[in-house]
Structure 1
Amino acid sequence: MNSTEATRHLLPPSSKWLLSINTLFAGASALSNTFLNVYLWKFLQDVEQIATYNFCIFFFTAIGYATAGWIAKKSDRLYTLRASVAILALFYILMISLGAKAVNMYALLGALQGVGTGFFWLSYNVLVFEVTEPETRDAYNGANGFLFAIATMAAPLLAGRILSTLPQRGYTIIFAVSGALFLTAVLFTWRLRRNASPPSYDLYSGFSPKEHRNLWRKMLSMSFSMGFREGTLAFLPFLLVFLVTQNELTASRYLLFTAGGSLVAYYIVKRFLTNSRRMFFVTTAAIMLGLSVVLLLFEVNKFSLFVFGIANSLFTPLLVIPYSCLTYDVMGKLPEAAHRKVEYIVIRETVVNSGRCLSILAMIMLQELVSATLALQLTFLMVGLSPLVALFFFRRTETSFQTRFSSPLRGSG
């Protein structure tokens, strides 16, 4: 067993608790959020309004990150993690209590969900930075993705079954179960140690560090392109599957197939990804993700959506995990990394969510300027090109990083 393989078995207990927390969060999110856009569609019947709802989520996720960062620096990142559950619990309480009236408040609900999501992911990303090292980062992210795929495979299938069996009360049951899973996740946070940071909160330093500024800007450029790709993908393909099939159980089967593809991909990442293979993984993923939209450029139907969904699920992890690992490696070399990790994460995620928001705005503008069919084709064309842009910036960042900080891990895999 070489040194890289050995590190896969050396994840500390804190990282295993963190894996459990994120798996519960993933299950709760997949159970409810997946069909939330369908739920809203039944009342709104307007893609632009659904897009606006998702825009609000991403916009306020960035605000949630910045606010949670300030709180985390003044107190502790575990408090913002627990606060995220309280905010998301309020979101689900409103969804359950308001029922059909909730659609009249979709922008406010999107804002509430965004803030809660930002609080959660700020805390989670800070904790990942703390509990992993360059030697264990690939292994941790591979294991996390594998568990995430299992949760996102089981949850939508369960949701689809509930909705097909209990169409009247199904959404209420789903939102209630999601709330329970979030509560369990927050109880697990008591197994993690408190670790207060210096109270000063300097976002300018997070955006423009004194050293390695150009390297960090390259990393942020890739983050923006990754976010641009994710914006419309967060809701559009699944919503289109439902609109084409008009069946929630069929739509849940689409999610089962795509989650199964992710499960295979994350197993490959967990088993084979090393520092020296990151470039190969990202290059392969970017090319295949670019090709995955070809059928959708000709016709959006059940077959083309399923082909795209499966290809997307198989190759997205091969792009996302190396990107995530490289991001933390770069952050670890920035000035005062231990004290400024919150600021670096807030800035990165603000850039990611800016890309997501711009992607949705572009889709809304296309809907206004051209026919619906052409707007969809151009939207998917942008989705197909964005991984190639991400590949360009990944290569620049990776090359610059290796030039400045030659790592003995290179070549170990």
Structure 2
Amino acid sequence: MEHSKHAVRSRGSAPSAPGKLRTESFAGDGRSGSGPALDKQAVLLLAVQGLIAIATALSGTFLPIYLWKASQSLALIGWFHSTLYTVSGLTFWIAGKWVKEHNKMNSLRLGIVLSGVFYFVILLLGTRAVTYAIPLGVLGGLGQGFFWLAYNVVYFEITEPANRDRFNGWTGLIASGAGIVVPWISGFIITASTGNQGYSIIYTASAIIFGIATILSFWLKKREAAGRYEWLYGFRQLKTPGDPWRRVALAIVAQGIRDGVFMFLVGLLVFMATRNEQKLGSFSLITSLLALISFWLIGRLLRPHLRSRAMLFGAAAVTAAILPLFWPQRYETLLIFGIGTALFMPLFIIPMTSVVFDLIGRNEESVKRREEFVVLRETSLTIGRLVGIAAYLLVLPQANSAPQAIPWLMLIIGAFPLACWFLVRGYVNRSPAGRKEPV
């Protein structure tokens, strides 16, 4: 996930009309936890994102397990996610023109609908879904691309520097909250049902929740389109010596390298160690509860001038949390890893997300090109994820003869948050003053 809105509106002032530029000061009081409150549109966007998080936690947590049980192939899981990431990245780039010049809310709704269709198709296919893993990756990638492109642009427009950490904290809190109960319920349903009936139930429920999210999204205001989309604008910034995007884009690639593998491999490892979906649900419950508490505290207490130190400490801590995976991989050792990641990942991810969108809002010209910069961000993430998946697929054949191959892979790619901090450390604490942004 990924978002932003830059510049501080005076407390108590009314928002500008949609699409208009406003002049704001980012000086603030430096207290991210006590900045301007989130307005009704921001709360509504959080509600939509919360429903997506619930639907994803309900079925997405167990999708790799479902595919692996039907295929007994870890490589298939890698190719499925590789397809999903590739199509998602291409959708971001191609749909950027639609979002900038036409109706971004329709892109958001289309993404939600396609995500619902994705789970409905899996429900219809049953165990035959493994035969269509690549086409399913295409469908899932389209849904993610359309939704997250529009979501990130809208997020940028309805938040601002003083409350962006607050919004990001709420986003993490909601996602963690969904992860506390929902996967546990899914695991209980699956283990209590015969055959694949439990999977059919959770895929049906996910499709329904995506439908509810689509309906709720119609209460989000239509946001005025402005400007012409330049296909390569964001990428041209990478050619400019001294442009901060050169380092920040590389940091986003580094972030994607870890995300691309960890997003599906951790759950697989837990299931392969326990052979029990209920255990995976319990793993998610414990780690998500701790992540919720951590996101809540950090979202309230983290101040812009502390971002760099918090990010470095968080990156180092989540890297160290991987070390228990070199012990015999039992549920207990995986849980130690999960707890460490849950507690310290917010220290890394909240500053990392905020600094990217603060950079998008650094001046009026950059704000006008927010769609192009969101596309650059997602393209960078996609490249990183594909690099991570490629490393996973290369190491996989060695896993049978060298049991430590997977832990070493996870340690190497899991250390990339340290590279992220190194690349953005000069920008993460900056609070540029005087900028214009749309509401």
**Shorter-chain TM-score tier:** over 0.9
Task: Find the counterpart in structure 1 of residue 427 from structure 2.
Answer: 397
The equivalent of 1:194 in structure 2 is 222
State the partner residue of 2:155: 128
2: distance between equivalents of 1:397 and 1:223? 14
Further displaced range: 374-383 or 128-137: 374-383
Identity of aligned residues (%): 30
Flag the 1:149–1:283 CA change in 2: closer, same or farther, 3 A: same
Aligned to 1:410: none
TM-score, L = length of structure 2: 0.87
1:12 matched residue in structure 2: 39
Offset of residue 303 of structure 1:
2.1
Letter in 2 for 1:72: V
1:103: how far off?
Answer: 1.1
Greater shift in the superposed pair: 226-235 or 63-72: 63-72
- Hey, what's the Cα distance between the residues in 1 that align with 2:366 and 2:32? 27
Structure 2 residue 231 is the aligned partner of structure 1 residue 203: yes
Change (3 A) 1:115 1:5: closer
Alignment of 1:12-31 (within 5 A): 12-31=39-58
CA separation in 1, counterparts of 2:375 and 2:402? 36
2:354 to 314, 325, 335: 325
Give the letter aligned to residue 310 of structure 2: F
Map of 2:110 onto structure 1: 83
Q: Secondary structure at the match of 2:348?
A: helix
Match of 2:10 in 1: none
Q: Using the TM superposition, give the Cα deviation of residue 59 of structure 1 relative to its aligned residue in structure 2, in angstroms.
A: 1.2
For residue 225 of structure 1, report the CA deviation from its aligned partner: 0.8
Shift of the 205–9 alpha-carbon distance from structure 1 to 2, 3 Å rule, reads closer
2:180 aligned residue? 153
User: Where do 5+ consecutive residues of structure 2 fail to align?
Assistant: 1-27, 435-439
Match of 2:268 in 1: 239
Instruction: Provide TM-score, normalisation by structure 1.
Output: 0.92
Partner Cα distance (1:301, 1:105) in 2 = 32
Corresponding residue for residue 108 of structure 1: 135
Q: Given that residues 157 and 256 in structure 1 are in contact (C-alpha distance below 8 angstroms), is that contact kept between their aligned partners in structure 2? A: yes
Which of 250, 271, 275 aligns to 1:221? It is 250
In the other structure, the counterpart of 2:284 is 255
Letter in 2 for 1:43: A
Quick one: distance in 2 between partners of 1:188 and 1:199?
28
> What is the CA distance between 1:339 and its match in structure 2?
2.5
| Equivalent residue runs for 1:137-176 within 5 Å | 137-168=164-195, 169-176=197-204
Looking at structure 2, the residues matched to 100 and 161 of structure 1 have their Cα atoms a distance apart, in angstroms, of 20
Cα deviation per residue 1:225-281 (whole Å; 9 max; x = unaligned)? 111111110111110110110111011101111111211111111221121121121
Amino acid at match of 1:347: L
* 1:28–1:179 CA contact under 8 A, matched in 2: yes
**Mean Cα displacement is larger for which, 334-343 or 234-243?**
334-343
Say whether the 8 Å CA contact 2:33–2:302 is kept in structure 1: no
Give the residue type in structure 2 aligned to 1:197.
A
Asked if 1:270 corresponds to 2:270, the answer is: no
| Distance change in 2, residues 1:212/1:330 (3 Å) | farther
Instruction: Tell which has more relative contact order, 1 or 2 (C-alpha 8 A, sep 6+).
Output: 2
Output the CA distance in 1 between the equivalents of 2:328 and 2:230: 48
Give 1:386's aligned residue.
416
Matched, 1:375 2:405: yes
Select the residue among 382, 391, 405 that pairs with 1:362: 391
Q: Which has the higher helix share?
A: 1
Asked whether the equivalents of residues 212 and 334 of structure 1 are also in contact (C-alpha less than 8 Å), the reply is no
Distance 1:9 1:333, change over 3 A: closer
| Partner Cα distance (1:126, 1:318) in 2 | 24
Q: Which amino acid aligns with 2:142?
A: V
- CA distance in 1 between counterparts of 2:136 and 2:33 reads 46
5 Å-filtered alignment, 1:24-63, equals 24-63=51-90
Retained in 2: the 8 A contact 1:57–1:113?
yes
Q: Figure out how many residues of one structure are paired with residues of the other and give that number.
A: 405
Which of 94, 97, 100 is 2:121 aligned to?
Answer: 94
Does residue 280 of structure 1 match 2:326?
A: no
**Cα gap change, 1:5/1:327 in structure 2, threshold over 3 Å: closer, same or farther?**
closer
CA RMSD, Structure 1 to Structure 2 (Å): 2.2
The alpha-carbon deviation at position 10 of structure 1 amounts to 1.9
How far apart are 1:324 and its partner, in Å? 0.7
Give the Cα separation in 2 of the matches to 1:64 and 1:31.
25
Inter-partner Cα distance in structure 2 for 1:211 and 1:335: 18
Matched, 1:348 2:415: no
> Are residues 212 and 185 of structure 1, via their aligned partners in 2, closer, same or farther at CA, if it must alter by over 3 Å?
farther
Sort the Cα spacing of 1:382 and 1:335 in 2 relative to 1 into closer, same or farther, 3 A. Answer: farther
- Gapped regions of structure 1 (runs ≥ 5): 408-413
Equivalent residue number for residue 295 of structure 1: 324
What SS does structure 2 have at the residue aligned with 1:396? Answer: coil
More deviation, 200-209/256-265: 200-209
Q: Secondary structure at the match of 1:235?
A: helix
Distance in 2, Cα, partners of 1:335 & 1:257: 44
- Indicate if the aligned counterparts of 2:33 and 2:299 stay in contact, CA closer than 8 A: no
Asked if the contact 1:285–1:319 (Cα under 8 Å) also holds between the matched residues in 2, the reply is yes
1:5 and 1:283 mapped to 2: Cα distance? Answer: 18
Query: Once the 2 structures are TM-superposed, how far is the Cα of residue 212 of structure 1 from its aligned partner?
Result: 8.5
